Structure 1
Amino acid sequence: MNWIAIGDISDIPLRGARCVKTPIGKIAVFRTAENKVFAIEDHCPHKGGPLSQGIVHGNAVTCPLHNWVISLETGKALGADEGAVRTIPVRNDNGALSIALENLTLAAAE
């Protein structure tokens, strides 16, 4: 896998996110209260809202536009909502974060 360095975990606040611009579009990188790191496409499958500006809770984020809840683990909408965003592999090497832009999978296809 081709890993691309994107910064340090300390660049992302607890229960927050940062955006990374890539050739495939914006990727939102999230840090949970438990210091887990996830990366997904930065657009809600509903109306394209910026997920990086949403509220992180547990291993999910709530879209700031229409309150859809998206799993950071699978990229799938939770509850009664349907849709998904791609998840991006993230590596945390003692705080140094990298993402892999190869082998992208669409969670809905699983």
Structure 2
Amino acid sequence: MATEFVPVGVTMSADPPIKRDPTVTEWDLGTIDQIPDQEMHRVRTPRGCVLVYAESRDQIKAFSAVCPHAGADLSDGYAKGAMVMCQYHGWQFNLRSGENTARGLPGLIEVRTEERDGQLIAHFPVRKTS
């Protein structure tokens, strides 16, 4: 029997709302030891939601939760293992690579991360404010 996609909220943390701030360039995504292996984890940041997927402690990827198709928040979508599916149009993405499962269609935008003193730190591009 195939495993069905389940609503993302089932495995996500219930983070409090955070005020949007386009000037933030770095954000602590949490303690690496607390990121579950082989499950998608959502972290709210001032630059929007980030999807974190850890194949193992040494193989952690982070992506913007914005669907490249129509801008939907993928953290409100559906997940199955290393896959996330947009709730609006069914686009599916591999969280190991960010690739769209439909060849030739855009994938997710990767968020650069680093481990610092046991924490997973996200680095966002600098945005100019007018």
TM category, shorter: 0.5 to 0.7
What runs of 5+ residues in structure 1 fail to find an aligned partner? 105-110
What runs of 5+ residues in structure 2 fail to find an aligned partner? 1-24
Pair 1:7-2:30 in alignment: yes
User: Which is higher, the Rg of structure 1 or of structure 2?
Assistant: 2
The aligned residue for residue 79 of structure 2 is 54
Count of residues paired in the alignment: 98
How far 1:70 moved relative to its partner? 3.1
How far 1:5 moved relative to its partner? 2.1
- TM-score, length-scaled by structure 2: 0.57
Aligned counterparts of 1:71 and 1:20: Cα–Cα separation in 2: 15
- Structure 1 residues 49-96: Cα deviation after superposition (integer angstroms, max 9, x where no partner): 625852234xxx3426436233543x3313435122211011124642
The aligned residue for residue 18 of structure 1 is 41
The aligned residue for residue 101 of structure 2 is 78
Structure with more strand by fraction: 1
Q: Percent identity?
A: 16
Residue 49 of structure 1 contacts residue 63 of structure 1 at CA under 8 Å; is this kept in 2?
no
- TM-score, length-scaled by structure 1: 0.64
Pair 1:63-2:85 in alignment: yes
- Secondary structure of 2:110's counterpart equals strand
